A and B are shown apart, each in its own frame.
Chain A
Amino acid sequence: MNEQSNNPWKKFQEKWVSRRNLIRGAAGTALGAGLVRPMLGHARDEEDDRGHGVFFGPHPIPGGNRGLSPGPGLQPYGVFVHHNPLNPATALANISDPSQITDFDGFVGLTNIHGGGTGTDTNNGMATRLSFRADMGFSQGNFVATDGQVHKGTFAFV
Protein backbone atom coordinates (compact mmCIF):
# COMPACT_ATOMS: atom_id res chain seq x y z
CA MET A 1 0.00 0.00 0.00
CA ASN A 2 2.95 2.29 0.40
CA GLU A 3 4.31 1.60 -3.06
CA GLN A 4 4.77 4.78 -5.00
CA SER A 5 3.27 4.87 -8.46
CA ASN A 6 2.43 7.50 -11.04
CA ASN A 7 -0.25 5.32 -12.57
CA PRO A 8 -3.58 6.79 -11.47
CA TRP A 9 -5.42 3.50 -11.93
CA LYS A 10 -2.86 1.71 -9.81
CA LYS A 11 -3.14 4.34 -7.12
CA PHE A 12 -6.87 3.97 -7.31
CA GLN A 13 -6.60 0.25 -6.98
CA GLU A 14 -4.21 0.51 -4.07
CA LYS A 15 -6.60 2.69 -2.16
CA TRP A 16 -9.43 0.31 -2.76
CA VAL A 17 -7.61 -2.80 -1.83
CA SER A 18 -7.39 -1.77 1.77
CA ARG A 19 -11.00 -0.80 2.13
CA ARG A 20 -12.80 -3.39 0.13
CA ASN A 21 -11.02 -6.65 0.70
CA LEU A 22 -13.04 -8.20 3.46
CA ILE A 23 -11.90 -11.76 3.21
CA ARG A 24 -8.68 -13.07 1.84
CA GLY A 25 -7.51 -16.61 1.82
CA ALA A 26 -4.44 -17.48 3.77
CA ALA A 27 -2.40 -17.22 0.58
CA GLY A 28 -3.80 -13.79 -0.14
CA THR A 29 -6.26 -14.88 -2.77
CA ALA A 30 -9.76 -13.51 -2.57
CA LEU A 31 -12.14 -16.27 -1.60
CA GLY A 32 -15.83 -16.63 -1.04
CA ALA A 33 -17.22 -13.37 0.16
CA GLY A 34 -14.14 -11.57 -1.08
CA LEU A 35 -15.64 -8.13 -1.30
CA VAL A 36 -18.96 -6.78 -0.31
CA ARG A 37 -20.86 -3.78 -1.57
CA PRO A 38 -24.07 -2.61 0.07
CA MET A 39 -27.15 -2.60 -2.03
CA LEU A 40 -28.04 0.99 -2.75
CA GLY A 41 -29.73 2.89 0.00
CA HIS A 42 -30.83 6.44 0.60
CA ALA A 43 -30.94 8.59 3.65
CA ARG A 44 -33.87 8.23 5.92
CA ASP A 45 -34.49 11.40 7.79
CA GLU A 46 -34.60 10.36 11.40
CA GLU A 47 -36.92 13.24 12.20
CA ASP A 48 -39.21 12.58 9.28
CA ASP A 49 -42.44 11.13 10.59
CA ARG A 50 -44.49 12.00 7.57
CA GLY A 51 -44.27 8.52 6.22
CA HIS A 52 -44.07 9.70 2.65
CA GLY A 53 -41.30 7.30 1.81
CA VAL A 54 -39.30 10.01 0.07
CA PHE A 55 -35.66 9.78 1.00
CA PHE A 56 -32.76 12.05 0.16
CA GLY A 57 -29.18 10.97 0.14
CA PRO A 58 -26.08 12.82 1.26
CA HIS A 59 -23.35 14.15 -1.00
CA PRO A 60 -20.13 12.15 -1.00
CA ILE A 61 -16.99 13.98 0.04
CA PRO A 62 -15.43 15.83 -2.90
CA GLY A 63 -12.32 14.50 -4.55
CA GLY A 64 -13.12 10.85 -4.05
CA ASN A 65 -12.73 7.96 -6.40
CA ARG A 66 -16.22 8.06 -7.78
CA GLY A 67 -16.15 7.90 -11.55
CA LEU A 68 -12.48 7.07 -11.99
CA SER A 69 -13.11 3.48 -12.93
CA PRO A 70 -12.21 2.41 -16.44
CA GLY A 71 -15.01 1.06 -18.57
CA PRO A 72 -18.45 2.12 -17.45
CA GLY A 73 -17.24 3.82 -14.31
CA LEU A 74 -19.00 3.99 -11.00
CA GLN A 75 -20.97 7.15 -11.59
CA PRO A 76 -24.08 5.55 -13.13
CA TYR A 77 -24.41 3.24 -10.17
CA GLY A 78 -24.20 5.88 -7.49
CA VAL A 79 -21.54 4.01 -5.56
CA PHE A 80 -20.27 6.12 -2.70
CA VAL A 81 -16.52 5.87 -2.33
CA HIS A 82 -14.42 7.43 0.34
CA HIS A 83 -10.94 8.33 -0.73
CA ASN A 84 -9.24 8.40 2.61
CA PRO A 85 -8.65 4.94 4.01
CA LEU A 86 -6.85 5.08 7.31
CA ASN A 87 -3.14 4.47 7.16
CA PRO A 88 -1.45 3.22 10.34
CA ALA A 89 1.67 5.18 9.35
CA THR A 90 -0.16 8.52 9.34
CA ALA A 91 -0.21 10.53 12.54
CA LEU A 92 -3.69 11.22 13.89
CA ALA A 93 -3.24 14.98 13.47
CA ASN A 94 -2.50 14.46 9.77
CA ILE A 95 -5.35 12.19 8.75
CA SER A 96 -7.60 13.09 5.84
CA ASP A 97 -11.27 13.65 6.44
CA PRO A 98 -12.54 10.28 7.72
CA SER A 99 -16.13 11.19 6.87
CA GLN A 100 -17.74 9.56 3.88
CA ILE A 101 -20.09 12.46 3.23
CA THR A 102 -19.71 16.19 2.95
CA ASP A 103 -21.80 19.03 4.38
CA PHE A 104 -21.88 16.97 7.54
CA ASP A 105 -21.88 17.78 11.25
CA GLY A 106 -21.71 14.81 13.57
CA PHE A 107 -19.84 11.74 14.71
CA VAL A 108 -17.69 9.56 12.50
CA GLY A 109 -16.01 6.25 13.11
CA LEU A 110 -13.58 4.49 10.85
CA THR A 111 -11.52 1.34 11.25
CA ASN A 112 -8.76 -0.56 9.54
CA ILE A 113 -8.69 -3.99 11.13
CA HIS A 114 -7.49 -7.38 10.09
CA GLY A 115 -8.35 -10.71 11.59
CA GLY A 116 -9.25 -14.31 11.04
CA GLY A 117 -12.23 -16.55 10.86
CA THR A 118 -13.71 -19.69 9.42
CA GLY A 119 -15.30 -20.08 6.03
CA THR A 120 -17.59 -23.04 5.55
CA ASP A 121 -18.81 -24.61 2.34
CA THR A 122 -22.40 -25.21 3.37
CA ASN A 123 -22.83 -27.85 0.69
CA ASN A 124 -20.32 -30.24 2.21
CA GLY A 125 -19.49 -28.73 5.59
CA MET A 126 -15.83 -28.26 4.73
CA ALA A 127 -14.32 -25.51 6.86
CA THR A 128 -11.36 -23.38 5.86
CA ARG A 129 -9.35 -20.97 7.94
CA LEU A 130 -9.46 -17.52 6.32
CA SER A 131 -8.03 -14.11 7.03
CA PHE A 132 -9.69 -10.79 6.36
CA ARG A 133 -9.06 -7.10 6.42
CA ALA A 134 -11.95 -4.78 7.08
CA ASP A 135 -12.34 -1.07 6.56
CA MET A 136 -15.67 -0.11 8.07
CA GLY A 137 -17.21 2.88 9.70
CA PHE A 138 -20.19 5.12 10.25
CA SER A 139 -21.42 8.68 10.11
CA GLN A 140 -24.18 9.93 12.38
CA GLY A 141 -25.43 13.49 12.52
CA ASN A 142 -26.81 16.32 10.43
CA PHE A 143 -26.11 16.62 6.73
CA VAL A 144 -27.24 18.66 3.77
CA ALA A 145 -28.95 16.20 1.47
CA THR A 146 -29.49 16.25 -2.27
CA ASP A 147 -32.71 18.19 -1.72
CA GLY A 148 -30.67 21.06 -0.25
CA GLN A 149 -32.21 20.63 3.19
CA VAL A 150 -30.56 19.66 6.45
CA HIS A 151 -31.48 16.15 7.53
CA LYS A 152 -30.45 13.93 10.38
CA GLY A 153 -29.21 10.48 9.51
CA THR A 154 -27.07 7.48 10.31
CA PHE A 155 -24.93 5.79 7.69
CA ALA A 156 -22.82 2.68 7.78
CA PHE A 157 -19.81 2.19 5.61
CA VAL A 158 -19.01 -1.43 4.77
Chain B
Amino acid sequence: MIAVDHDAVEVDFDSGRARLRLRGLEVFDDHDIANSLTLGIGIPEPPFSQPGVPPVRAKISVDVEWNGALSMAAIDNQDQHFKGTFLSTDATIVWSSEQDGFHFESDNPADPKANLVSVLGREKNGVFFSG
Protein backbone atom coordinates (compact mmCIF):
# COMPACT_ATOMS: atom_id res chain seq x y z
CA MET B 1 0.00 0.00 0.00
CA ILE B 2 1.46 3.28 -1.03
CA ALA B 3 0.15 6.82 -1.01
CA VAL B 4 -0.32 8.16 -4.52
CA ASP B 5 -1.64 11.34 -6.09
CA HIS B 6 -5.38 11.78 -6.01
CA ASP B 7 -5.40 11.90 -9.80
CA ALA B 8 -3.97 8.40 -10.00
CA VAL B 9 -7.45 7.07 -9.31
CA GLU B 10 -10.63 7.91 -11.19
CA VAL B 11 -13.92 6.46 -9.98
CA ASP B 12 -17.34 6.61 -11.59
CA PHE B 13 -19.06 4.26 -9.23
CA ASP B 14 -22.55 4.63 -10.67
CA SER B 15 -21.33 3.31 -14.00
CA GLY B 16 -19.17 0.64 -12.40
CA ARG B 17 -15.99 2.09 -13.79
CA ALA B 18 -12.69 3.10 -12.25
CA ARG B 19 -9.10 3.49 -13.28
CA LEU B 20 -5.79 3.25 -11.46
CA ARG B 21 -2.83 4.72 -13.30
CA LEU B 22 0.69 4.70 -11.92
CA ARG B 23 3.76 5.83 -13.77
CA GLY B 24 7.34 5.07 -12.80
CA LEU B 25 6.47 3.73 -9.36
CA GLU B 26 9.63 2.65 -7.59
CA VAL B 27 9.36 -0.84 -6.17
CA PHE B 28 11.52 -3.68 -5.00
CA ASP B 29 11.45 -6.77 -7.16
CA ASP B 30 11.57 -9.54 -4.59
CA HIS B 31 11.84 -12.39 -7.09
CA ASP B 32 9.67 -14.89 -5.22
CA ILE B 33 7.13 -15.15 -2.45
CA ALA B 34 9.45 -16.40 0.28
CA ASN B 35 11.94 -13.72 -0.56
CA SER B 36 9.27 -11.07 -0.49
CA LEU B 37 8.02 -12.05 2.95
CA THR B 38 11.48 -12.13 4.46
CA LEU B 39 12.80 -9.14 2.52
CA GLY B 40 15.65 -11.03 0.91
CA ILE B 41 16.62 -13.22 3.82
CA GLY B 42 14.91 -16.36 2.57
CA ILE B 43 13.58 -19.23 4.65
CA PRO B 44 16.29 -21.33 6.27
CA GLU B 45 14.09 -24.03 7.76
CA PRO B 46 12.26 -26.81 5.93
CA PRO B 47 9.64 -27.60 4.74
CA PHE B 48 9.57 -24.26 2.90
CA SER B 49 13.27 -23.50 2.88
CA GLN B 50 14.43 -21.20 0.10
CA PRO B 51 17.64 -19.27 -0.31
CA GLY B 52 17.53 -15.52 0.02
CA VAL B 53 17.86 -13.32 -3.05
CA PRO B 54 18.65 -9.64 -2.70
CA PRO B 55 15.70 -7.49 -3.81
CA VAL B 56 16.30 -5.46 -6.95
CA ARG B 57 15.08 -1.93 -7.54
CA ALA B 58 12.60 -1.59 -10.35
CA LYS B 59 10.13 0.90 -11.75
CA ILE B 60 6.68 -0.14 -12.81
CA SER B 61 3.86 1.55 -14.66
CA VAL B 62 0.34 0.25 -14.23
CA ASP B 63 -2.99 0.94 -15.86
CA VAL B 64 -5.88 -0.97 -14.30
CA GLU B 65 -9.45 -0.43 -15.46
CA TRP B 66 -12.66 -1.64 -13.86
CA ASN B 67 -15.01 -1.77 -16.82
CA GLY B 68 -18.63 -1.95 -15.77
CA ALA B 69 -20.74 -3.85 -13.29
CA LEU B 70 -21.61 -7.51 -13.72
CA SER B 71 -23.45 -7.82 -10.42
CA MET B 72 -24.06 -5.83 -7.27
CA ALA B 73 -24.31 -6.66 -3.57
CA ALA B 74 -25.03 -4.67 -0.44
CA ILE B 75 -22.90 -5.99 2.39
CA ASP B 76 -23.15 -5.33 6.12
CA ASN B 77 -20.50 -7.55 7.68
CA GLN B 78 -20.74 -7.40 11.46
CA ASP B 79 -17.75 -9.69 11.97
CA GLN B 80 -15.28 -7.70 9.91
CA HIS B 81 -16.93 -4.34 10.59
CA PHE B 82 -17.40 -3.19 7.05
CA LYS B 83 -20.43 -2.30 4.99
CA GLY B 84 -21.18 -0.83 1.63
CA THR B 85 -22.21 -1.42 -1.93
CA PHE B 86 -19.98 -3.63 -4.02
CA LEU B 87 -19.85 -4.36 -7.72
CA SER B 88 -18.31 -7.31 -9.45
CA THR B 89 -16.82 -5.90 -12.62
CA ASP B 90 -14.90 -6.68 -15.73
CA ALA B 91 -11.34 -5.45 -15.51
CA THR B 92 -8.12 -5.24 -17.48
CA ILE B 93 -4.54 -4.47 -16.61
CA VAL B 94 -1.70 -3.20 -18.74
CA TRP B 95 1.62 -2.82 -17.00
CA SER B 96 5.35 -2.72 -17.50
CA SER B 97 8.45 -3.10 -15.38
CA GLU B 98 11.89 -1.67 -15.90
CA GLN B 99 15.00 -2.73 -14.04
CA ASP B 100 18.67 -3.16 -14.64
CA GLY B 101 19.02 -5.72 -17.42
CA PHE B 102 15.34 -6.54 -17.73
CA HIS B 103 12.17 -5.07 -19.16
CA PHE B 104 8.66 -6.48 -19.09
CA GLU B 105 5.69 -5.31 -21.11
CA SER B 106 2.29 -6.91 -20.68
CA ASP B 107 0.04 -7.47 -23.67
CA ASN B 108 -1.61 -4.28 -24.87
CA PRO B 109 -4.51 -4.26 -25.35
CA ALA B 110 -5.09 -6.59 -22.45
CA ASP B 111 -7.32 -9.60 -22.83
CA PRO B 112 -10.61 -8.80 -21.04
CA LYS B 113 -11.14 -12.53 -20.51
CA ALA B 114 -8.05 -12.59 -18.28
CA ASN B 115 -10.01 -11.09 -15.42
CA LEU B 116 -10.54 -13.72 -12.72
CA VAL B 117 -12.50 -11.55 -10.32
CA SER B 118 -12.54 -7.82 -9.71
CA VAL B 119 -14.51 -5.70 -7.29
CA LEU B 120 -15.36 -2.04 -7.00
CA GLY B 121 -16.88 -0.83 -3.77
CA ARG B 122 -18.12 2.16 -1.85
CA GLU B 123 -17.63 1.21 1.76
CA LYS B 124 -17.15 2.14 5.38
CA ASN B 125 -15.14 0.15 7.88
CA GLY B 126 -13.60 0.44 11.33
CA VAL B 127 -14.78 3.51 13.20
CA PHE B 128 -16.94 4.53 10.24
CA PHE B 129 -18.73 1.19 10.24
CA SER B 130 -21.31 2.20 12.81
CA GLY B 131 -21.56 5.76 11.57
Contacts and interface: CB of A to CB of B under 8 A. Distances in A.
Given A99-B82, A104-B125, A117-B104, A38 B36 contact: no
Contacts of B127: 103, 144
Contact of B101 (A9, A69, A123): A123
A39 B3 contact: no
A113 to B, nearest CB: 5
A57 B3 CA distance: 8
Max count, chain B CB within 10 A of own CB: residue among A41, A57, A77: A41
A13 B39 contact: no
A120 B103 contact: yes
Contacts of B124: 104-105
A95 B86 contact: yes
A158 to B, nearest CB: 7
Chain A, interface SS category: mixed
Given A36-B58, A98-B121, A109-B120, A119 B36 contact: no
B8 A156 contact: yes
A99 B75 CA distance: 13
A88 interface: yes
Interface size class of A (residues with CB under 8 A): 35 or more
A9 B50 CA distance: 14
Contacts of A46: 6
Contacts of A20: 30, 33, 36
Contacts of A30: 31-33
B1 A140 contact: no
Max count, chain B CB within 10 A of own CB: residue among A13, A38, A157: A38
23 contacts: A30-B33, A33-B58, A33-B97, A35-B29, A35-B30, A36-B28, A36-B58, A36-B97, A61-B126, A70-B43, A88-B116, A96-B80, A97-B80, A97-B81, A109-B18, A109-B120, A112-B115, A116-B106, A120-B103, A121-B102, A138-B4, A156-B2, A156-B8
